[in-house]
Structure 1
Amino acid sequence: MSQRTSALAPPTAPHRPAEALVVMTHEPDLPAWVARVCRRAGRQVRIEPAPGSPEDRLLTVAALAGRSVLVMGPPGDDRTPKGRVVAAIHDLPTDAAVLTEAALAAAVLDAAVVPVLCVPLSFGERSVGLTDALARGHDVLDTAVAQLATDAPELTVIPRLLRMHPHELVGEGLDADLLVLGGPRHRIPARVGLVGGSAVQHAPCPVLLAPRPG
């Protein structure tokens, strides 16, 4: 795990969330915090019954490529609040919507935003390219902190650079109230990538897949 403080990238104009949020849930009613997030952003919400099997959930998420999709947990899944919304990013501005969605949710949940970028352990300590990969990761996190400072200056932001494969982030050890990451892109055939698929199937908290550019 790594963290640093450095000069921030120049702030940019505030980002706006997608106009609608699709909520995949087993429950008939919208969770109260989700309703507050949507009211705060003035966005519409659509409830999509969550398919029973993991395979069908992935197919449904893939069919919703280009939209913001919140995948809730199983019925009666009452977790103790962690005070953290984790935003898994890889590149900016590609993942700008991930940070926007994370900030909106964190403001309602009274939580910190934790932008996370993973550098795989396949880069050994003496690997050629490790230094560049770590430097790039820190630069992306600096840009993320700058965007969040512009979009939601009232929030606590705790950037993290982790040495693991991105899909390993979403296991049972994830300590968060919500995981936000980039959703599937428009493509034929429609499919969810390794990280998104792992999150939808294994994350111990709700997962919000934010739209990414086509």
Structure 2
Amino acid sequence: MISLFIIDDHELYLEGLSLLLVRQSGIEIRGSARNGQGLLDQLPGLEADILLLDVNLPDIEEELLLKKIREIKPDQKVIYLTLMRGTRYVHKLTKHKVQGYILKNASIQELVDAITTVHSGGTYFSKDIDVLSNDDFRHTITIDDTKVEDILSKREIEVLKLVCKEYSNAEIAEKLYLSISTIETHRKNLISKLGVTNTVGLVKFAIKNRLID
């Protein structure tokens, strides 16, 4: 049996994935967590072959969580499940020796293939994650446009659109009736969530995902 522990902050996705996986021969679910701290609290005594880990958790940045996982269990196998297919994220996470990176729109069979491959000592990365490697948006995350709101809050989308229109932080704050420091925080969160480094990256994301013309 291959034992799994699933971490995802969306309850419906977490429960649905668990139900799908327990129906697969040779797979068992050892438990789950809704955030990074929930995982870290259980990890020292956890006996699971593979962690199925969401990239965007509400309480901890993905690289910091991976570092903490490696401190507790250096050889723990990790497969990331995510909506994000930009190569920037993949490169960032593979520095911490993750064994797999699977898009959430993958079929259950592809996920099972990834699980069995990683369990046997291999690595598995969704074939679709390199689709941006040869165009102008190589380091820009691209997701299904119907799923943008799963990654960004409504307020973050509002801020992003205004950033793309070249409004300053002060101007955005005035338009949205927020403080300048709040807008600065939203900008930082957008850059962190989308795996970009500057405003140009934010604009490329917005164009690629049809948030602006």
TM-score (norm 2): 0.30
Higher strand share: 1
Structure with greater Cα Rg: 2
Higher helix share: 2
